[in-house]
Amino acid sequence: MILVRVALLTPAAFAVLACTTLAAAEEPALIDRPTPASKAELTRVLGEAFHGRSVTIADDALTRDSILVIERRAIKGLEGSPADGRSLETPEVFRLVLRDRRCELIRSSDLRRWALSETRCVVNRRATD
């Protein structure tokens, strides 16, 4: 009976160790020296994440923080206030990570990942302290 328990615990211990090792290989990242190509790639990937809808981002997006929050643009009425009232749609949150020396953008809601091959990333030291 003791051997059975040890045999069941050993795979579980390895699974925990494997998850810890994978998580350690992924670190919060920042875009280092953004270029027109890296901004175009980020805009393209975000457009893909939103099923082809146009997404507007700042020139310094993901250069100071590893988190990017995208909110739906409110349609303005004649008086300048939102035409359809307050938006209750949840904003989409994306995380930029460095995994095996590659930039990846992760959508937090479903953990879908996009590789950013035209973008140079560095570890976000402020997020890892």
The residue extents of the domains of the chain are 25-128
Q: Which residues of 78-98 are buried (b: 16+ CB within 10 A; e: fewer)?
A: eeeeeeeeeeeeeebebbbbb
> Which pLDDT tens digit goes with each residue over 76-125?
666 766 656 566 678 999 999 999 999 999 999 999 999 999 999 999 99
DSSP assignment of 7-75 equals: HHHHHHHHHHHHHHHHHHTEEEEEE-S--HHHHHHHHHHHHHHTTT------TTTTSS-SEEEE-PPPP
Reported as half-sphere exposure (CB side, CA atoms, 13 A), residue 55 has a value of 24
| Model confidence, pTM | 0.71
- pLDDT for 89 equals 74
Q: Which amino acid is at 7?
A: A
Tokens 């699974």, residue? 15
Token pair belonging to 29: 């990242």
Judged against a pLDDT cut of 60, whether residue 3 lies above it is answered with no
pLDDT (tens digit, 9 = 90+) per residue, 33-92? 999 999 999 999 999 999 999 899 999 999 999 999 998 766 666 676 665 656 667 899
